[in-house]
Structure 1
Amino acid sequence: MAFDYDLFVIGGGSGGVRAARVAAGEHGARVGLAEESRMGGTCVIRGCVPKKLMVFASAYPEAVAEAREYGWDVTAGGFDWARFRTRLEAELDRLEGAYRNTLKNAGVTVHDARAVIVDPHRVRLASGEEFTAKHILVATGGWPFVPDIPGRELAITSNEMFHLPALPRRALVVGGGYIASEFACILNGLGVEVSQYCRGAQILRGFDDEARGHVANAMQANGIAIHCGTDVMRLEKAASGIRAVATDGSEREFDLVLYATGRRPNTAGLGLEGIGITLGRNGEIPVDAYSQTAVPSVFAVGDVTGRINLTPVAIREGHAFADTVFGAKPTTFDHQLVASAVFTQPEMGTVGLSEEAAREREPIEVYATAFRPMRTLFAGKQDRVLMKLIVSRATRKVLGCHIVAPEAGEMIQLAAIAIRMGATKEDFDATCAVHPTMAEELVTMRKPVRTG
């Protein structure tokens, strides 16, 4: 059978674009790609990139305050949200154009329309146009989830955060994950009065307990009101804003309510069940190590699979898929030891096992130190950073590294290389310190603070 395309990709985010580019540009495949919204997906348009730019913007008031302590005669004026938003939207337009040019230069045919799967080798666009393909790749990402509570229409999600007409005076962030915590810090840094409701006993569930506790303490010290063990029962329109009625019995009014209670795979209405693919409990697409579904011609990468919801992971999965199917080079991506960063203030970087997970697996040693860093100590601030290593007592390998500090994301990337190579605690000890830096503490901790 002659197909219209060798590969048809549904979704123009990081994973789908990488797969399409490599399949077409490096392996010579005939590739079509359909995207119903903006090219670039969650990361570029409504996630990592605009969020990180907002993180940068929110850090300047503190930087100005520090500058005064260092002798600079500076003051911060008011924050011009409209000016920032205009620059932000222009940057997103530029990035979207770059993604389109990348696909065009690789020879990928782009269809600006929603696509659904008709059968294992056929897709249909919203226009009614149909195409056949030898292989179909689903890379439609995730979508914010808002629980079905009364008044849910009064809330917004992270999708809308970058397009607010104006900054609120009072904001409620609902959720305890990294997206909720990051936006709580962003809004707080931009001068908004922020409350954060979290159902769990602590924010950032799944991360190392000591590290997430360190982040929570710093957030509270910076003025964010974190309410753990608290959820919203309903939202109501009030004369001066939105009233949130909570499970702790409180009723508070806010100008903005942001729900960041999780994301779900964006699989609804794609036609997957109709071709024999049984979705997981949250709508994720089950795949094997090569990203292949139960239907041999259909593959899936990125957040839609529910494996690890990180942009670099989706990119690596997409690249591995293209090399496997079109490059005659079977390739899998190892989902172990994937480093990540949480862009709260302060940042948290982590790779490997938490203390709790490692303790359940084998006997360990814990090396940790918390201290006031030189830069802010001089400025009279009380903030502290945390450096932590989890070490196997049997093999001496470093099983996990957790950093809470300014620029922790930059530090954890480098630590991840050593840990992935199997570095032992003695390898860290044998590495000469770079002085004076915060990161030198990673190679100067000699005695464990805990064993288990």
Structure 2
Amino acid sequence: MSQFEYDLFVIGGGSGGVRAARIAAEHGARVGLAEEYRMGGTCVIRGCVPKKLMVYASGYPGHVGDAREYGWDVRLGGFDWAAFRAKMDAELDRLESAYRGNLARSGAAGFDARATLVDPHTVELSDGQRLSAAHILIATGGHPFVPDFPGSDHVMTSNEVFKLDALPESILVVGGGYIACEFAGIFNGLGSKVTQFYRGAQVLRGFDGEARGHIADAMQARGVELHLGTNVMAVTPVEGGYRVKASNGMEQVFEKVLYATGRKPNSAGLGLEAIGVETGRNGEIVVDDYSQTNIPSIYAVGDVTDRVNLTPVAIREGHAFADTVFGGTQRSADHDLIPSAVFTQPELGTVGLSEEAARDAGPIEVYCAAFRPMQSLFAGHDERVLMKLVVCADTRKVLGVHLVGDHAGEMIQTIGIAVKMGATKEDFDRTMAVHPTMAEELVTMKSPVRTA
């Protein structure tokens, strides 16, 4: 009989924690899991899922306009935010219930409480209960970061944006990452007047430079007022909203101010310091390839480790941890060549190296096409799709693929398989085109537009 009440105790009920708990339980482990807020974590409750639903909602004005160009006698009425939000909330409730049900069916015990570490084998719940475990997994995710400045307490973040009582007539979005750009597009599509500030020279830092510029131009063409090299100096409540003073001398009143200036790991207040768990300068829990900390009984997965902060990555890390510790199969999550999508408007799909990163690594060829796709061309739009391949000049391997346009996220999932398998440019060339599609450009680009 084990000296511990559980073989595994998981702190955090998000995607990574629940997957780890379920797989460990299926391997025969006695598992407990504590979640202080709602089961499902950031992605399900206040991240990917509600955000994508808002992306869908914001796209319908454009669809209606296109329908008229295709001969349909349709008119756009008003947007009912309250009705949409009620249905969105109901969908999140359904998903949370599914998470709870899946966890319970696996045999794991769930606790609606905050858990902190007492020692390497003991957690204390917020109700005072102490539980022991042979292994403890921390999967507490991250939280939005708002810098300190005069009036910073008056802004909202992605945590609160889904709970708005009404759609704002005007909104300032501060930040240039994917969350900021996605919400700028969402509110613009829903009918708000959107202004976006970013302190850097171009939005979407870390992505391919050509794709970044393409998206920024398209966002502005669709109506987002983008100010680069601009930061907020102060926010002051006034009648009708908040007066914002900017670093470029601009002063303007916005009904709402949304900050999306990065995220930090949820590692504070867990008791890590007291038992000596190593953390990094941003608060991330330092782990090895198998998600183990410097304390052998304590592991961590997902955004709290600040490795690759994506839901599918947290799920893979949690699954690999459970297989390694409880399934007898040593396995680590593969963080190389991860496809990803940014649900800006237009959408970005990407896998592999940007042109800039590939150029620094060795000689490359760049194949690129920008064109007006058939569907939107017929509807009278000037916006162009971008299709880009970055190829190693020596090995001919496709090092990176970057797509900007409708359904880019769907396309990059399948393209990611080819890139992960090590496909060469000639493999792409040998593949027959599917006509007429946007994606056929990926296999018909014969000559590089530049080399480096």
Report the TM-score, using the length of structure 2 for normalisation.
Answer: 0.99
Residues 167-195 of structure 1 deviation map (CA, whole Å, 9 limit, x = unaligned): 10010000000000000000000000000
Give the deviation of 1:320 after TM superposition.
Answer: 0.2
Tell me the number of residue pairs that the alignment of Structure 1 and Structure 2 aligns.
451
Residue 212 of structure 1 aligns to a residue in which SS? helix
Residues 131-187 of structure 1 deviation map (CA, whole Å, 9 limit, x = unaligned): 000000000000000111111111000011111000100100000000000000000
C-alpha distance in structure 2 between counterparts of 1:109 and 1:195, whole Å: 46
C-alpha distance in structure 2 between counterparts of 1:240 and 1:185, whole Å: 23
C-alpha distance in structure 2 between counterparts of 1:239 and 1:40, whole Å: 38
Query: Counterpart of 2:82?
Result: 82
C-alpha distance in structure 1 between counterparts of 2:300 and 2:75, whole Å: 51
Give the deviation of 1:110 after TM superposition.
Answer: 0.4
C-alpha distance in structure 2 between counterparts of 1:55 and 1:237, whole Å: 29
Query: Counterpart of 2:270?
Result: 270
Poorly superposed stretches of 4+, deviation over 4 Å:
none
C-alpha distance in structure 1 between counterparts of 2:240 and 2:94, whole Å: 38
Give the deviation of 1:234 after TM superposition.
Answer: 1.0
Query: Counterpart of 2:153?
Result: 153
C-alpha distance in structure 2 between counterparts of 1:389 and 1:142, whole Å: 33
Query: Counterpart of 2:101?
Result: 101
Query: Counterpart of 1:53?
Result: 53
C-alpha distance in structure 1 between counterparts of 2:356 and 2:298, whole Å: 38
C-alpha distance in structure 2 between counterparts of 1:61 and 1:15, whole Å: 36
C-alpha distance in structure 1 between counterparts of 2:240 and 2:140, whole Å: 38
C-alpha distance in structure 2 between counterparts of 1:272 and 1:367, whole Å: 48
Structure 1 gaps of 5+ residues are none
Query: Counterpart of 2:234?
Result: 234
Residue 436 of structure 2 aligns to a residue in which SS? coil
Query: Counterpart of 2:23?
Result: 22
C-alpha distance in structure 2 between counterparts of 1:39 and 1:77, whole Å: 36
Query: Counterpart of 2:358?
Result: 358
The root-mean-square deviation of aligned C-alpha atoms, in Å, is: 0.5
Query: Counterpart of 2:334?
Result: 334
C-alpha distance in structure 1 between counterparts of 2:275 and 2:296, whole Å: 11
Q: Where do 1:48-447 residues align within 5 Å?
A: 48-447=48-447
Residue 422 of structure 1 aligns to a residue in which SS? coil
C-alpha distance in structure 1 between counterparts of 2:316 and 2:188, whole Å: 34
Report the TM-score, using the length of structure 1 for normalisation.
Answer: 0.99
What amino acid is aligned across from residue 286 of structure 1 in structure 2? V
Give the deviation of 1:279 after TM superposition.
Answer: 1.2
Residue 220 of structure 1 aligns to a residue in which SS? helix
Residue 409 of structure 2 aligns to a residue in which SS? helix
What amino acid is aligned across from residue 131 of structure 1 in structure 2? L
Residue 370 of structure 1 aligns to a residue in which SS? strand
What amino acid is aligned across from residue 3 of structure 2 in structure 1? A
Give the deviation of 1:277 after TM superposition.
Answer: 1.4
C-alpha distance in structure 2 between counterparts of 1:359 and 1:253, whole Å: 44
C-alpha distance in structure 2 between counterparts of 1:80 and 1:50, whole Å: 16
C-alpha distance in structure 2 between counterparts of 1:279 and 1:285, whole Å: 4
Residue 74 of structure 1 aligns to a residue in which SS? coil
Give the deviation of 1:288 after TM superposition.
Answer: 0.2
C-alpha distance in structure 2 between counterparts of 1:196 and 1:336, whole Å: 32
Contact persistence 2:12–2:140 (CA under 8 A):
yes
Residue 157 of structure 1 aligns to a residue in which SS? coil
Residue 124 of structure 2 aligns to a residue in which SS? strand
Residue 73 of structure 1 aligns to a residue in which SS? coil
C-alpha distance in structure 2 between counterparts of 1:214 and 1:198, whole Å: 16
Query: Counterpart of 1:13?
Result: 14
Give the deviation of 1:422 after TM superposition.
Answer: 0.3
Residue 234 of structure 1 aligns to a residue in which SS? strand
What amino acid is aligned across from residue 27 of structure 1 in structure 2? H
Residue 415 of structure 2 aligns to a residue in which SS? helix
Contact persistence 2:278–2:293 (CA under 8 A):
no
Contact persistence 2:399–2:419 (CA under 8 A):
yes
C-alpha distance in structure 2 between counterparts of 1:131 and 1:237, whole Å: 46
C-alpha distance in structure 2 between counterparts of 1:368 and 1:273, whole Å: 50
Residues 193-214 of structure 1 deviation map (CA, whole Å, 9 limit, x = unaligned): 0000001000000000000110
Query: Counterpart of 1:448?
Result: 448
What amino acid is aligned across from residue 387 of structure 1 in structure 2? M
What amino acid is aligned across from residue 396 of structure 1 in structure 2? R
What amino acid is aligned across from residue 10 of structure 1 in structure 2? I
C-alpha distance in structure 2 between counterparts of 1:241 and 1:275, whole Å: 46
What amino acid is aligned across from residue 214 of structure 1 in structure 2? H
Contact persistence 2:366–2:449 (CA under 8 A):
yes
C-alpha distance in structure 1 between counterparts of 2:232 and 2:324, whole Å: 46
C-alpha distance in structure 2 between counterparts of 1:85 and 1:272, whole Å: 38
Give the deviation of 1:240 after TM superposition.
Answer: 2.4
Give the deviation of 1:241 after TM superposition.
Answer: 1.4
Residues 398-438 of structure 1 deviation map (CA, whole Å, 9 limit, x = unaligned): 00000001010000000000000000000000000000000
What amino acid is aligned across from residue 90 of structure 2 in structure 1? A
Structure 2 gaps of 5+ residues are none
Give the deviation of 1:282 after TM superposition.
Answer: 0.7
Residue 137 of structure 2 aligns to a residue in which SS? strand
What amino acid is aligned across from residue 395 of structure 1 in structure 2? T
Give the deviation of 1:239 after TM superposition.
Answer: 2.1
What amino acid is aligned across from residue 297 of structure 2 in structure 1? S
Give the deviation of 1:259 after TM superposition.
Answer: 0.4
Give the deviation of 1:278 after TM superposition.
Answer: 2.4
Residue 387 of structure 2 aligns to a residue in which SS? strand
Residue 20 of structure 2 aligns to a residue in which SS? helix
What amino acid is aligned across from residue 409 of structure 2 in structure 1? G
C-alpha distance in structure 2 between counterparts of 1:275 and 1:434, whole Å: 58
C-alpha distance in structure 2 between counterparts of 1:434 and 1:147, whole Å: 48
What amino acid is aligned across from residue 17 of structure 1 in structure 2? V
